[in-house]
Structure 1
Amino acid sequence: MIFPVALPRLTWGAPDAPRHALLVHGLGSSAALMWRYGVALAEDGWCATAVDLRGHGDAPRALDYSIAAYAADLVATGREDGWPWDLVIGHSLGGAASTSASAQDPEWTRRLVLIDPAIHLVDRDAEVIRASQQRAFDDNRAEQVREEHPHWHEQDVELKVDAVARASRWAVEQTGAQNLDAWDVRADAARLAVPTHVIGADPEVYSIFDGALAREVLAANPRITMSVIPRAGHSPHRDRPEETIARLREVLASDAFADDEELGDAELGARSAAR
């Protein structure tokens, strides 16, 4: 039986902002590493909340690290707040869990942005991710992070070291092991009923959502669109932050993602007061 755990939060922006976004990090990461999105959304008048996923950061530890369990935790965040999220941004594992959460509960969020999401991991990508996580836990020094990612902002370097130090290595390993034969949320992606945009990584650098997989997912659901950040790897917000944030703003300003025309000022005010 899957039961949700309460996820710790970091927040950027005014709590009474008219629109609220949820930020969901990837495997071996943390809420704090979603800071680029939090800062940008707060600058644009949103309230952005990032969570530590189970087994990561200050979140509770558990035995179940299936995608379904991560999704259950995310669905519970919306129910706790009493309103749908206006936007959810999910990276990698967070993208997979957010996809499942939205498919499970169409009222959970009004929009989705997925950052190089782990929709379906094949053997090659699963091994690349496993090896990357092992390197991070085996040598969690800032010098090592800088050597591997020399173009990252210093805050990303610091926060990556902190995220690895506070994550459960067992939880990260179990996430791979427990989903080994079932890391596949393509059916959930096909069921998504909200506008969804994938901000993809550049396959010439490294991407886990490209090629035949991307074409299949996009063809299965017309609500899903996609763009790619050139010269960005699996974490575009760290590899090419300015370009990634500019793309996010373009997506949110597009017709499909435009502000809720059906909500009048009175209802938006009521939502802000309730939050």
Structure 2
Amino acid sequence: MTFPVTLPRISWGDPRAARRALLVHGLGSTAALMWRYGVALAEDGWRADAVDLRGHGVAPRVLDYTIPAYAADLVGIRPEQGDGTWDLVIGHSLGGAATTLAAADDPEWTRRVILIDPAVHLSDHDREVVRRSQEEAFADPTEAAVREAHPQWHPHDIELKALAARQASRWAVEQTSLQNPAWDVRAALARLDVDVDVLAADPKVYSIFDGPLATEVLAANDRVRMTVVTGAGHSPHRDKPEQTVAELRRVLRDERTMGS
């Protein structure tokens, strides 16, 4: 039986800020690894909260790691002030899938969604890429290993990615794949009635949101738009942080979502 758990959160920005954002990390990651978004939003006058997903970081361990279970936890996370609705939710990868379900299940949960190379639908190839990546992370959860694989990353990201692998439940990460044999939230994304921007990775590097999948998703909901972060892999905020933050700020300035 699916039931929600209370997720720990960390925050950036003034607690009295008028605009509130929630940041949701990907598989095998943590709240702290969303720091680029937290810093950028705080600099722009937002209050940003990030959560550790179930089985990750210091969040509760459970038996259910289905996407609906991840989403149920998110629906229970609300801004500490205001009307109880997030002005923005940013979800990366698995966090993008869970964010999509949460926003579809509760129309009052958020006014706006930004998905970072979201795991909307995983092919067998993508599943294998994810499986190998997680195996490598757990096999050597050291900063040296992360630095060797990603020498261009900021020292914060190297440190925090290694820590995330040590903190996460390996069983939870494995079960997230096993318990979601039909990894597919396309129908939920198609029915979202809020503005959605996808910041996708560059297919020339590696992306899980491109090609026919992206074309299908964009055609199914005219409130969904897409931008490719050139030269970035699956984690644009770590691979191309300045460019990713610039794209984030650009879409947030758009009158389509911010009003006149």
TM-score range, shorter chain: over 0.9
Equivalent residue of 1:193, what SS?
coil
Paired residue type of 1:216: E
Tell whether 2:116 aligns with 1:119: no
User: Deviations for 1:193-247, whole angstroms, at most 9, x for unmatched residues?
Assistant: 1000000000000000000000000000000000000000000000000000000
**Matched pairs, number:** 259
- The aligned residue for residue 273 of structure 1 is none
1:43 maps to which residue? Answer: 43
Q: Does 1:256 align with 2:256?
A: yes
Residue 143 (structure 1) shift: 1.1
Matches of 2:60 and 2:80, distance apart in 1: 17
Q: Distance in 2 between matches of 1:78 and 1:220?
A: 28
Q: Distance in 2 between matches of 1:225 and 1:70?
A: 24
Aligned ranges for residues 80-99 of structure 1 at < 5 Å?
A: 83-99=84-100
Map Cα deviations across residues 37-65 of structure 1 (whole Å, 9 max, x no partner): 00000000000000000000010000000
Secondary structure at 2:258 match in 1: coil
Question: What amino acid maps onto 1:5 in structure 2?
Answer: V
Shift of 1:78: 2.6
Q: Which runs of 4+ in 1 moved over 6 A?
A: none
Query: Counterpart of 2:221 in structure 1: which amino acid?
Result: N
Match of 1:232 in 2: 232
Partner of 2:167: 166
Counterparts in 2 of 1:225 and 1:183: CA distance versus 1, 3 Å: same
Q: How large is the Cα RMSD of the aligned pairs?
A: 1.1
Identity over the aligned pairs, expressed in percent? Answer: 66
SS in 1 for 2:256: coil
In the aligned structure 2, how far is the partner of 1:184 from the partner of 1:10? 29
* Counterpart AA for 2:165: V
Superposed counterparts of 1:129-148, under 5 Å: 129-148=130-149
CA separation in 2, counterparts of 1:154 and 1:78? 31
Match of 2:201 in 1: 201
Provide closer, same or farther for how the CA distance between residues 191 and 230 of structure 1 changes in structure 2, counting only shifts above 3 A.
same
Offset, 1:182: 1.7
**Structure 2 CA distance for aligned equivalents of residues 166 and 38 of structure 1:** 21
- Following superposition, the deviation at residue 24 of structure 1 comes to 0.1
CA distance in 2, matches of 1:5, 1:35: 23
Gaps of 5+ in 2: none
Counterparts of 1:151 and 1:199 in 2: how far apart (Å)? 20
Once the two structures are TM-superposed, the CA of residue 80 in structure 1 deviates from its matched residue by: 7.4
SS in 2 for 1:99: helix
* DSSP 3-state at the match of 2:114: strand
Residue ranges of structure 1 left out of the alignment (5+ in a row): 262-275
Give the equivalent residue in structure 1 for 2:182.
182
